């Protein structure tokens, strides 16, 4: 399997996605790594994560418990710190770069901080691999729909991260740099569904920013699958985009309320917020192909593209405005969260 015997570094490994990636690695979903290192700047989250893996309540989690003892290590550091990231990659084969400032309004109020983490952090990683001569085989950058036709700081910084990693394939040709791009992860920290669940459990009101807003609804498991799919199949400079269902946010709220007398308040669009998510733009359509369950955006830089002819898979942008998750299908998608609202 693709990660058998590999040493894997997960930056931002204590976040929602990073933690899920680490759990999948410990289960051996894509092979048994030789080592897994969680690199992040929050020692409290690292300690909580360590304890959670070492106190498995169910027999089915035994493999996670055992592998966490044998394979898992933690390293305090920040991708903003060049020396820290250079030291972390010294004996690493694969890097999954999940470190990010991702809250859209926060990035609007602190744009320089977003640049330092999302842009300079990526640049530090590329520089560290280049200058150290570390034999890193693959780097997977975690991007976002907001990087597509960006209108907010978070999206702009992630768009730059994508371009930094794409160009890095020319700068460090011995390392494969690829990206994954996806939209709203249902259960991630700061996403709308956990907020709605909390608001409903407290009796409401449930707050939405506008009734027109739509979002792709991606599970954390599917997000992790996308990372592993890119690890296995992406070529230098490519961006993997999962095909995923989309829904109106007001429908998500109504489904979770489930007929109870809980009010929905419309609060207005937040700073930097998009009405619809776009994962592939009209400009990217002509260089987007299908590969399995994914759209693959070929690199903009011609030096990185295969010279073989291809047929684009899209004729227009890939947007959440094409709602395809309603009624019973939406209820089924949200079923894991509905019990928590009671």
- 78-90 pLDDT, tens per residue? 999 999 999 999 9
pLDDT of residue 189: 63
A 10 A CB-CB count for 59 gives 8
Long-range pairs of 278-281 with CB within 8 A, sequence gap ≥ 24? 278/145, 278/148, 278/149, 278/317, 278/318, 278/319, 278/320, 279/145, 279/148, 279/181, 279/182, 279/183, 279/216, 279/241, 279/318, 279/319, 280/148, 280/241, 280/314, 280/317, 280/318, 281/148, 281/149, 281/317
pLDDT < 70 positions in the chain: 57-60, 187-190, 340-342
pLDDT in tens, 200-212: 989 989 999 899 9
- DSSP letter (8 states) at residue 173: T
Planar angle of CA 150, 154, 160, nearest 5 degrees = 70
Q: Residue 205, preceding bond cis, omega within 30 degrees?
A: yes
Q: Does domain 77-341 have CATH number 3.40.50.720?
A: yes
Residue with tokens 């999206």: 155
Q: Which residues are catalytic?
A: 146
pLDDT of residue 337: 83
Q: Where are the domains of the chain?
A: 77-341
Strand 288-291 relative to strand 294-297, pairing: antiparallel
| Alpha carbons 35 and 24: distance in angstroms, whole number | 13
Instruction: Return the structure tokens found at 303.
Output: 């030096």
Q: Which residues are registered as beta bridge partners of 97?
A: 11, 141
What's the pTM value of the predicted model, to 2 decimals? 0.91
pLDDT of residue 194: 86
pLDDT of residue 59: 59
């Amino acid at each position: 399997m693709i990660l058998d015997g590999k040493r894997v570094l997960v930056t931002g490994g204590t976040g929602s996605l990073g933690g899920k990636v680490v759990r999948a690695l410990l289960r051996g979903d894509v092979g048994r790594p030789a080592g897994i290192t969680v690199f992040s700047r929050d020692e409290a989250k690292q300690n909580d994560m360590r304890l959670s893996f070492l106190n498995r309540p169910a027999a089915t989690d035994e493999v996670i418990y055992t592998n966490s003892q044998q394979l898992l290590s933690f390293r305090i550091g920040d991708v903003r710190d060049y020396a820290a990231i250079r030291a972390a990659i010294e004996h690493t084969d694969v890097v999954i770069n999940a470190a990010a400032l991702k809250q859209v309004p926060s990035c609007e109020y602190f744009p320089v901080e977003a640049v330092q983490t999302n842009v300079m952090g990526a640049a530090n990683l590329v520089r560290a691999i280049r200058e150290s001569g570390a034999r890193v085989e693959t780097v997977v950058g975690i991007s976002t729909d907001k990087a597509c036709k960006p209108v907010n700081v978070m999206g702009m910084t992630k768009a730059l991260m994508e371009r930094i990693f794409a160009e890095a394939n020319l700068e460090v040709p011995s390392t494969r740099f690829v990206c994954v791009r996806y939209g709203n992860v249902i259960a991630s920290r700061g996403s709308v569904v956990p907020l709605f669940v909390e608001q409903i459990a407290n009796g409401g009101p449930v707050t939405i920013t506008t009734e027109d807003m739509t979002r792709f609804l991606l599970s954390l498991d599917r997000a992790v699958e996308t990372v592993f799919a890119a690890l296995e199949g992406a070529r230098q400079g490519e961006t993997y985009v999962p095909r995923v269902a989309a829904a109106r946010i007001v429908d998500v709220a109504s489904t979770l309320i489930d007929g109870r007398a809980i009010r929905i308040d419309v609060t207005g669009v937040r700073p930097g917020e998009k009405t619809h998510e776009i994962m592939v733009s009209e400009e990217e359509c002509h260089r987007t192909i299908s590969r399995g369950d994914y759209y693959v955006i070929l690199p903009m830089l011609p030096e990185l593209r295969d010279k073989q002819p291809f047929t684009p898979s899209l004729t227009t942008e890939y947007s959440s405005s094409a709602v395809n998750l309603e009624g019973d299908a939406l209820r089924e998608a949200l079923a894991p969260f509905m019990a928590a609202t009671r």
